[in-house]
Structure formats: C-alpha cells, structure tokens
Structure 1
Amino acid sequence: MKGPRAAIAVWLLTRAVLLLSVFSVFRLPGPDVTTDISVIYRGWYEVLSAGSYPLADVTWQYPPAAAYAVLSPGLLPFLDYAHAFFLLAFASDAVAFGLLVRAGGRPGKCLSGAWVWIVGLPLLGPTAYARYDVMVTAVAVAALLAGVRHPRTLGALAGLGALLKVWPVLLLAGTRRGRATRRSWTAAAVSGAVVLGACAAAMPGALAFLTFQRDRGTEVESLGALFFHVVRHLGWEGEARLNYGSVEFLGPYVPVVSALALALTAGAFGWLLVWRLRAREFGTTTLVDAAFVAVLLFVTTSRVISPQYLLWLVGLAAVCLVFRGSPMRPAARLVLVATGVTLLEFPIWFSHVVDSDPLGLLLLTVRNGLLVAASVSAGRVLWRRTVTEPRLREPVPVPAQPVRRADLTPAAPADEPATGR
C-alpha cells in the first residue's frame, strides 16, 4: 500500500473532481443531484432561520439536530447557500480522511481504511457532497476511532450522531460488556438528551420528523421494490411517482411489502441482539466490526435505500480496514462495488430505474444483491470470530474418575516390605 503522501495526492485529485461536479463545471447524465441543496435545503434554511422546524413540509424527515447541518452554510455568508454547503461537505470529508490517515499510521494499523474512503466517495459521484450525510459519517468515523480506547467519547459522539440522522446509534452495538458498555451507553443517552433538549427549546416542531418518516412507502431503489419492478410488467396497477421527497411505488400491495421490509429490519436487529447475548469474546476490532454489520443490515433491509446510504457503509468499512488483518475486507470490497453500481443507478440511468425497464432492473438487482451478499458475509464473519471460534477454543472439562476401594489402601513405606498380613 502506498504511503500517506500518495494517499493525500489521490484524495486531493479525486476531491477536485467532486467539487467541479457539484459546482456544475461538468455534469453527469441524469437528474441534477445538487438541486436538493439549492432548492430543498435552501427552503428548510429559510424556515429554520425564522425560528421553526419545517412543520408543513413532509420532506423534512430528519432528527432535530439535522437543523445544524442545514443551517451550517450560514457560517459562510459571503457565499451562495449551495456553494457554502458543498465546501462544508468537502471540509467534513477532509476531517474524516485526516482521522483515517492518522489512525492508519499507528502500530498495528494501516492506510487501507484511508484508501477505502479515498475511493468510495468518488464512486458515489456528486451525491457525496450534495447531501449532509458526509457530515454525519465524519462524526461516526471519529466516534469509532476514538471509541476503541475512550468509550465515553464514543457514546457522546454516537448520541450526537443519532440526533443528526438516527443510524449512528448503531455504533454502540459492539461495545465490550461491562464498564465500556455502561460508560458509552450512558454518555450517548446524556449527549442525546442534551442535544434534543436544546433543539426542542430553540424552536417548535423538533419531533415532527417522526410522523413524516412513519408515513413513507417503498422507495423504488429498495430491496422490496424489486417485486414491483417485476410485477409492473405483469399487469400490476400501481405506479412510481414522487412521494414524501423521493420516488416511491404507490398502489396495491405496497403497504404489505413495506410492512414486510419493517419486519425484515426487526428480524435483523433481533439477530444482532442474539449475537450480543451469545458473543463470548470482544476483541480489538469487535466494536468497529459490529457497527459495520449493524448499519449494513439496517441499510439492506430498509424501505428506502437512497444513494447516500452507501456513504455510511463506506465510512464504516474504512474504519474497519484501518486495522491490519480486518475480517471485514471481503464485505468492504462488496460495498465499494455496490457504491459504484449505485452511481450508475443514480443519477446516470435513474430514468431506467423509474421505468422498471431491463437496464434499471439489472442495476437494482446487482446493487441490492451486492448489499445482501455483503450483509451475509459480514454477519457470518462477526459470528464466527466472536461466538463460534471462542467456544471451540474453550477447554473441554475432563470428567472425574471414580474412586476405587483399592486406591484407599495406604501403600507400604519404601523401606519396609509388605508383610502380606
């Protein structure tokens, strides 16, 4: 693997390309992904600046601390809102990259994680900078890298991240039992409560996102959507159209498939609970491995696999591969390939996905199949490393031998012959 200088050079080159893309110096085919920032985020910014959450906008489906990300371009008032946002996304990317490079230079670590981050973001295209997920992922990367030695820092950052976009709470899935779990989980609860209280006190409507998120259906890029992409060609009477801020399927059986997706997510979390109860050994990488598996399962089973969700997985895969000999390398490779396919699916050929034509169906089948394969691979490795192998290494107890009566007869002294009487 190349040294830090090569990593920095490639990072700068790829990020220059991303910035040129979001600044519209050149554009990829398909819909303009930056309009979410210049139109939707900008609209939220105006409402939030006026002192309220967007209570009348069903597309506001984010926890209350997301308001900080939306308001952050106000830190650069001399720039257009969208341009300021892109630069702050770039800065968040730089922070995550710097943390990965620094961690990779320590004993027992390597730069593989930094290279996953370098490659992963460009594979997602301009979407990486045109959503606030890169900011949340930077918080998650910092939390996991610090959490190996500092459970309270892990918990505090996970609590903050959960109030930004919920999923960082899953970073706590693999904390070592005992003091580390108590410290990290308590810190997360305190951090989350403080941030939530501050948001609720600052303006009304902090929890409005719960209702808007509950009413979402099956988004056209999700695993469950594959069913509707197929049955559309068999006479299904539904349609795909913009709903709750994304293109979803609407029509017969959609509520059933959405409920099945939620049940699948619940089943995945049930597996995680069983794993945590049965895990016998929490090694050096268990914390980061379990976080990667938990978020991977959450994304794969979600009703909404938006393109930016892949950014979460790239960040957590990068943290895993900071550790030499990481068992998550196969799953990380699958995630990187899935990220590249996602760029083809959105935005380049998104119209084919919406139309459920053969190309769109192929792209979704490959991308979602890669996510399923990564989930199975990562889950099996985590179970084997922490449940199966430690059990096999445990010593087998030797049953006690029955005591014979003859063994109770004292032996004659060595210098006196036995008399036989």
Structure 2
Amino acid sequence: MMLLLLAHDSLPVLGGRVAREVWRGYHHWYGTLSTGAFPAQDTLWQYPPGAGLVLLAPGALPWWTYLQAFVALTVAADAVVAVALVRAGARPGRSLYGAALWVGGLPLLLRLPLARYDVLVTALAVISLLTLKRSTRACGAFAALGALVKVWPALVLLGAPRGRGTRSAWTSAAATGASSLVFLALAFRDPLAFLRQQGGRGVQIESLGGTVLSLASHAGWPGGVRYRYGAMEFTGPHVSAVAHLSLALTAAAFGLLLLWRVRARHWTEATPYDAALSAVLLFTVTSRVISPQYMIWLLGLAAVCLTSRHTTQRPVAVLVLAATAASSVIFPLLYPEVIDRTWTGTALMLVRNGLLTAAAALSFVRLWRSGTARDVPGARRRPRALPKSRAPALLGDARGAGRRSRGLPG
C-alpha cells in the first residue's frame, strides 16, 4: 500500500509530493558526496557525517534510478526491523505486540517513511536495544552508528543496566563512534559542517513552540512563516525567545533523565526500552523542530517496548499511535492549512502536539515510578546488607533452628 501511494505521489488528493526530498535533496547531495566532500555550503545539510554513507548507498544499485534504489534500501530496513521484532517477541515470556505495532503503525504515515532515511536510522536503534541482553558491546556499537547518522540513537543507551553492562555499552559506543568519525574525516572533507546549519535553525511550524506561535497569530501576533533550513519556520517578534525556551526545556529534560538514572533502583528487562522511548519523546516535544518523520523513531522504540511483558509504556504506545495518525493528516494532506495558520491547521497541531506532550509526560512518570517503587514485578534489586548488630543474632537463631530440626538441644 505504501509503495502504491508513493508511485502515485503526484496525485493532488494525496496532498503533495513527499518523494521530492529524495530526488531533489538526497540525490543532489549524492553528487557532492561522490566527490569526497560534504555539502558544507548548503544550508539544508544538517545531518551528522554518517548520513553521507546512507545517501551514497543507493549508488550500489546502479540498475535502478536513485529514487528506486533508495526506496528499495528503505523497504529492506523496514523488513529488518519487522523480523527483529518478531524474533524478539516470539521468545518465551515476550510479546508479538511490538511487531504488530510496527507493521500496522508505519503505514499510518502513508508513503512518507519510504521517502526519508529515518527508517534506516530507526533500524539501527531497534537492533541496538534488542541486542543489549545478548551483547552490550554490540548494543553500544549499533547505537554509535545510529548516532553518527542522526544523533538521537545515542539516547537508547540511557537505560543500560548499571555496572559492567553500562561500562561495556558506552565503551563500545565510544570506540565505534570515534573510529567511524576518524574514517569519515579521512574519507570526506568538512565532516562537521552540519553543526553550523543546525545552530541557525529557528522555530518550525510543527513544533510545540510553533503551535504556541500559531495560536498567538489568531490573537494578533504579527509574525509570518518562511522557508528556511529545509523547513517552514516562524519569523517575527518573540520567535527567538521561543527558540531559546525550547533549548532550555531540552536541557531540563536531560536533567530529569539524569536524575532518574541516579535515583532508579530497579531494572527489569524492559527498563532500557522504556528509558529509550521516554528520552526520545522528551527530546522530541522540547525540540525546535518536530518533522513528521520523527514519528518513525517513536513507533520503532514503542514497538521495542511492547516486545516485553514488563514494559510500563503500553498506554504511551497508544498515544504515539494516535499522534502518528494525526501527523499524516497534517503532512502532507492538509499542510497548506498549517502553513496558513487557519483554525483547522492550528487545531490539528494542537491535537498532534497535545498527544505527544501527554505521551512524553506519561512515559517519564511511569518510568520514574517503575524505577523508584519498592516492589516491581520482574525487577532486579541490589541485596540489602544486614545491620552488623543483627547479623550474629540472626545467624545464631538459624543455627539453633537447624540443631532443633535434628533433635539436638538448642
């Protein structure tokens, strides 16, 4: 169905051509990357250096056009995620709900996932989480590769179990990331050029701050909308203040996640999954940009959570699914309404971002409670040491009980 919609991408009823990003943006960058340089002077280039390898990958299928090869690789990544979720869910004590969420939820975004490279990034994050139990080193390596492509997969390591597991995962991530970055720096010119473009971004109309400004425009705010840095962004008074507030909220979200990490005392097999979803949700809703393809990340992480029967994120997954459906109505179906800030467009943004904000708040609250509660089913806790004053007495009671059980005087 998604492929059929992409084949008819130009139909007016579908709201616009989403494949334009591939054959106009990605393909253009492919030409620059093929010369051994990143598009440093292009303000639309805002991706970490690992993204260059992803955009070069369709060249390995020369018998197809760039768009066809890119879609083929995306479909393959989609299949990898589905198979990984099925295998994880089919194990004893696990659940296939995660696979069902991914297979049934991704088409809610219509053909958009096939025309963005976020499915490939999500595949790296999903594999990273699902390999954690078997190999913390593999988990860290996949997370690092994902972070080199689009940064956010680094957050999946937040919930790694304390002690040797965390050290192993983060050491592997650091080694993989550093060696890969050195390779990219030697193979291409200007690998860090994306930082300059990222720093100049403003408030996108689909972000939470953008929703506030859209509402303000109905109350007389005189700002406008302009295409900048590959997105429709607000311009006018107070936009800079909203952007800085978003950055402050992102910093606060990071502080909350660190506080949870310090205070958490219980870990189940689902805790790393739940922490990853909660972290990415918090960073998404506080971001200056919430593009529709971000929902692909959240669907993938929610699906990983649902593979475990110990997850606390089931209601969060439902909210993510609802927000995904709302996102496809916003883009591409009714995107002109959002750009023009009509009441319909503003209402749609309120619904979608309201669902995401509720999901982020609920996710963190449930993660916090599961990590700090006294009794959590399936949780592993540190054994509590007995007070020194009580240990000899309890030991004596135990010896006496053993002597009496054998008919000996206590």
Q: Give the partner amino acid of 2:55.
A: V
RMSD: 2.0
Using structure 2 for the length normalisation, give the TM-score: 0.90
Structure 2 match to 1:412: none
Q: Give the partner amino acid of 1:374.
A: A
Using structure 1 for the length normalisation, give the TM-score: 0.88
Contact 1:29 1:349 in 2 (8 A): no
Structure 1 match to 2:40: 55
Structure 1 match to 2:113: 128
Contact 1:139 1:157 in 2 (8 A): yes
Aligned with 1:149: secondary structure? coil
Counterpart pick for 1:376 among 361, 375, 378: 361
**Superposition deviation, residue 139 in structure 1:** 0.8
Structure 2 match to 1:313: 298
**Superposition deviation, residue 269 in structure 1:** 0.6
| CA 1:186–1:157: 2 relative to 1, 3 Å | same
Question: C-alpha separation between the residues in 1 aligned to 2:386 and 2:240?
Answer: 53
Question: Does residue 24 of structure 1 match 2:8?
Answer: yes
Q: Deviations over 1:102-139 (max 9, x none)?
A: 11111111110000101121011111111000000011
Question: Does residue 77 of structure 1 match 2:62?
Answer: yes
| CA 1:156–1:396: 2 relative to 1, 3 Å | closer
Counterpart pick for 1:146 among 113, 131, 140: 131
Contact 2:21 2:115 in 1 (8 A): yes
Question: C-alpha separation between the residues in 1 aligned to 2:60 and 2:5?
Answer: 23
Aligned with 1:280: secondary structure? coil
**Superposition deviation, residue 93 in structure 1:** 0.2
Q: Deviations over 1:112-167 (max 9, x none)?
A: 00001011210111111110000000111111000123111110001111000000
Structure 2 match to 1:229: 214
Contact 2:49 2:184 in 1 (8 A): yes
Structure 1 match to 2:326: 341
| CA 1:291–1:348: 2 relative to 1, 3 Å | same
Question: Does residue 250 of structure 1 match 2:235?
Answer: yes
Q: Deviations over 1:331-356 (max 9, x none)?
A: 00000000000000000000000111
Q: Give the partner amino acid of 1:88.
A: L
Q: Deviations over 1:252-286 (max 9, x none)?
A: 11110000001001101100000000001112111
Q: Give the partner amino acid of 1:246.
A: A
Contact 1:148 1:287 in 2 (8 A): no
Question: C-alpha separation between the residues in 2 aligned to 1:50 and 1:26?
Answer: 32
Contact 1:22 1:86 in 2 (8 A): no
Q: Give the partner amino acid of 2:149.
A: L
| Equivalent residues in 2 for 1:294-313, closer than 5 Å | 294-313=279-298
Identity of aligned residues (%): 48
| Equivalent residues in 2 for 1:207-218, closer than 5 Å | 207-218=192-203
Structure 2 match to 1:281: 266
Structure 1 match to 2:348: 363
Question: C-alpha separation between the residues in 1 aligned to 2:337 and 2:174?
Answer: 44
Q: Give the partner amino acid of 1:20.
A: L
Question: C-alpha separation between the residues in 2 aligned to 1:26 and 1:256?
Answer: 38
Question: C-alpha separation between the residues in 2 aligned to 1:232 and 1:130?
Answer: 32
Unaligned runs of 5+ residues in structure 2 are 391-410
Question: C-alpha separation between the residues in 2 aligned to 1:271 and 1:138?
Answer: 27
Aligned with 2:111: secondary structure? helix
Aligned with 2:254: secondary structure? helix
Contact 1:292 1:313 in 2 (8 A): yes
**Superposition deviation, residue 84 in structure 1:** 1.0
Larger Rg: 1
Structure 2 match to 1:350: 335
Q: Give the partner amino acid of 1:350.
A: Y
Question: C-alpha separation between the residues in 1 aligned to 2:165 and 2:387?
Answer: 34
Q: Give the partner amino acid of 1:109.
A: R
Counterpart pick for 1:200 among 172, 181, 185: 185
